Amino acid sequence: MNKILVAYDGSESAMRALQEAAKLSRNGGTVTVVSVAEELPQFGRAAAMLVPEEHEERRRELREAKTMLAERGVAAKVVERRGDAATMILDEAEKEGVELIIMGTRGLGSGKRWLLGSVSTKVLHHAPSNVLVVR
């Protein structure tokens, strides 16, 4: 596999996705790790706002991911995005021309999934490449 994108949010399933990317890219593939901070809409204001703690958490997660991959001999590019998670993952995958998107799933219950939708479901339906969802 030459170009892999991993959607990473620090969760256990995202860590498993990162481990899978490390296995698949051992033969010289490139890995891009993307972390998306969803902005909170501000009523009465034109711009959405990102809580400062959220921004720092995303940076910490990206450092963690890069370190984990480096320990396994995989060089990675890390990208922090803001906005709707599925949209930003798809945008980054298209921009990078990846062959595979790897992501975890939080395993939302059917009620929450129906109400909120699932990032992995949205990515699966609209991805420009293959998608591997790990549990």
Q: Encode pLDDT of 80-135 as tens digits.
A: 998 889 999 999 999 999 999 999 986 444 444 444 458 888 999 999 999 999 98
Domain boundaries, the chain: 3-134
Tracing tokens 């998306």 back to the chain, one arrives at: 36
The residues pairing with 4 across neighbouring beta strands, listed in sequence order, are 31, 100
Joined together, the tokens standing for residue 52 give: 């400062």
Which residues 6+ apart lie within 8 Å of 126 measured at CB? 86, 90
Of 48, 32, 31, the closest CA to residue 40 belongs to: 48
Q: How many helices (H) and strands (E) are present in the chain, helices listed first?
A: 5, 5
| CATH superfamily of the 3-134 domain | HUPs (3.40.50.620)
Q: Which amino acid is at 47?
A: A
Q: Residue 68 and residue 49: Cα distance in Å, rounded?
A: 30
Check residue 111 and give its pLDDT.
47
Mean pLDDT calculated for residue range 59-82: 93
pLDDT in tens, 17-67: 999 999 999 778 899 999 998 766 555 554 556 567 777 888 999 999 999
Amino acid in the structure at residue 52: P
